[in-house]
Structure 1
Amino acid sequence: MRDTVKVIIARYREDVAWAAALGYDYVVYDKGGDFGGEARQLENVGREAHTYLTHIVREYDSLAPVNVFVQGSPFDHLDERGNGSPETLRSMIEDVVDRGAPFKGFAWFKLQCDHLGRPHDMFKPENRGRWAGWGRDIPVGEVFTKLFGADPPERITARAPTGIFAVTGERIRTRPRAFYEYALRLVEADPDDARNTGHALERLWQHIFNGNLAWNREDYD
């Protein structure tokens, strides 16, 4: 099973020593600039979506059979009480491998939203300054249409709302590399996430990896 799974970690100054305890191959993409271990350095832009898409674009032809995408400290989102652990994550990964699931979000909850990402926390006074996009809606419908050239569904169910999920290499490659390059350009055009492009992708991972070939476009200019 170890050779089947690769864990891709989007780190920003978190302690990622826990990764070794998973027992799987892993790679750390570091945006904090203070990581002393072996890591791939990236500019601190675009939230974790930038990291994930960068990995897919670079490794497209050599992706692992199962790819697990997580942030540097993912555990609060794995359990309703915030008691997730490396053991929790490892058990979730094992279940995905055992069942052969092509995609699985690991957050303990799912979200439903409209085309503006509502309901969301972008207008709450207590969150002012937490995100560059505070005070703006999340352009879920707009990003959906840019990615797929189609109208989004009326209600969108986010099955990986915190950006923690597993997806097979086979499922990733149901979309061409050009799709991910285009998605990466969208993120890079909003480097501070002031327009909440990265937040929108958190609501759309299950659509990106749903294997619907009819949503593939002929070009991604």
Structure 2
Amino acid sequence: MGSDTAVHDLVIARYEESLDWVLDVPDAYRVHIYDKGAGPTSTAVRERAETFVSLRNAGRESDTYLTHMLEYGPGTGEFTVFAQADPFEHSPDFLELLTRHADWSDVQALAWCWKEQIGYPPATLLTPERSIVPDLRVRPELFSLSTFQPLEWVDSGAEGIGRGYRQLHRLPEGVNMCAHFLDMCELPDVAELAEQHLVGRHSYGGIFAVRSHLVEKVPARALERLRQAAFGATVHGYFCERLWLHIFGEQFLFPLQLPGAE
């Protein structure tokens, strides 16, 4: 089971990925594995895990995270880290980052890219000076709350997700889709803040950390509504991924300047 010295929690959303790397997770972390596939798991990995739960394969990693929040609670650790079971594609320095929690913000992006080998984002944006953690690779992406597109490059996948969301909810071009989603999931205060801004910040792959007491601040009803959304249309899972940081208190960027406003 997890170490008695653990002071943080690590939540892993697994399908069929290898979990051997879990044995290298620092002892300061309680490990919670939620398995939606049929991949083999070694006895050593199971013994390292505080929690090992099988879930139905639906709702992407958003459902896994929300299941943990609703059924396990915020935990007693200082930070809760959420990650896919192969975090290294999006966060090549993931294990090292787990040792650097003293450098983290209350809500901390932990990813570097989507898929570096295919240029998502372009290599020109993945340079050392772009990292927000010294000597390690962490780069949150800025994106439009109305188009879902990143600000610095053209992401055809994000464009398709935004278009699909507008069509699903019959929204015209120019509507703040992220505010719409947050309001639909019964997070009115966060939705109002989103409506007043143009830009959000997200961490690829839904890999991030948050001070555990901030998890407790999100109403259970909102967590339920987010999980219902994740079980629904595919695009909803991507909206959860884009908005995790803000759900837990990350500030939106670029306030909307309306005519006549001071």
TM more than 0.5: yes
Change (3 A) 1:52 1:14: same
Change (3 A) 1:184 1:123: closer
2:54 aligned residue? 41
1:71-220 to 2 correspondence within 5 Å? 71-78=84-91, 84=92, 88-96=93-101, 98-99=102-103, 101-108=105-112, 109=139, 110-119=141-150, 120-122=155-157, 136-137=164-165, 139-147=177-185, 148-149=187-188, 150-151=191-192, 152-153=194-195, 154-190=197-233, 193=234, 196-210=235-249
Equivalent-residue separation in structure 2 for 1:166 and 1:99 (angstroms) = 12
1:29 aligns with 2:72: no
Q: Which runs of 5+ in 2 are unaligned?
A: 47-51, 113-138, 167-176, 252-262
RMSD, aligned CA: 2.8
Greater CA radius of gyration, 1 or 2?
Answer: 2
In terms of fraction of residues, the more helix-rich structure is 2
Q: Which runs of 5+ in 1 are unaligned?
A: 79-83, 128-132, 213-221
Equivalent-residue separation in structure 2 for 1:103 and 1:136 (angstroms) = 29
How far residue 123 of structure 1 moved from its aligned partner, in angstroms, is: 7.5
> Structure 2-normalised TM-score?
0.64
1:7 aligned residue? 10
How far residue 27 of structure 1 moved from its aligned partner, in angstroms, is: 1.7
Q: Residue type matched to 2:157 in 1? A: M
SS of the residue corresponding to residue 12 of structure 2 reads strand
Deviations 1:19-68 (A, max 9, x none): 11012321211111334454311111111111001100011163532111
Aligned length: 192
How far residue 100 of structure 1 moved from its aligned partner, in angstroms, is: 6.1
How far residue 15 of structure 1 moved from its aligned partner, in angstroms, is: 0.6
Change (3 A) 1:75 1:34: closer
Deviations 1:201-220 (A, max 9, x none): 111111110089xxxxxxxx
Q: Residue type matched to 1:45 in 2? A: A
- 2:90·2:204 contact (CA, 8 Å) conserved in 1? no
Which one of 55, 58, 62 corresponds to residue 68 of structure 2? 55
How far residue 75 of structure 1 moved from its aligned partner, in angstroms, is: 0.8
How far residue 174 of structure 1 moved from its aligned partner, in angstroms, is: 1.7
Equivalent-residue separation in structure 1 for 2:247 and 2:25 (angstroms) = 26
The sequence identity of aligned pairs, in percent, is: 24
Equivalent-residue separation in structure 2 for 1:180 and 1:123 (angstroms) = 24
Equivalent-residue separation in structure 2 for 1:111 and 1:161 (angstroms) = 11
> Structure 1-normalised TM-score?
0.75
Change (3 A) 1:113 1:55: same
Change (3 A) 1:137 1:175: closer
How far residue 104 of structure 1 moved from its aligned partner, in angstroms, is: 0.3
Equivalent-residue separation in structure 2 for 1:181 and 1:114 (angstroms) = 23
- 1:47·1:198 contact (CA, 8 Å) conserved in 2? yes
Equivalent-residue separation in structure 2 for 1:205 and 1:123 (angstroms) = 16
Equivalent-residue separation in structure 2 for 1:21 and 1:123 (angstroms) = 34
